Amino acid sequence: MIEAFRLSGMMAGILMTVAGFTGFFGPSLRKRIKGPFVFTVHRWCGLGAVACGLTHGLIYMLYLG
Q: Where residue 65 falls among pLDDT bands split at 50, 70, 90?
A: confident
pLDDT at 36: 95
Q: Which residue has the higher pLDDT, 64 or 44?
A: 44
4-62 pLDDT, tens digit per residue, is: 999 999 999 999 999 999 999 999 999 999 999 999 999 999 999 999 999 999 999 99
Contacts 24+ apart (CB under 8 A), 5-12: 5/56, 5/59, 5/60, 5/63, 5/64, 8/52, 8/53, 8/55, 8/56, 8/59, 9/52, 9/56, 11/48, 11/49, 11/52, 12/49, 12/52, 12/53, 12/56
**What integer best gives the mean pLDDT of the chain?**
96
Q: Which domain holds residue 28?
A: 2-64
> What is the total count of domains within the chain?
1
pLDDT at 64: 87
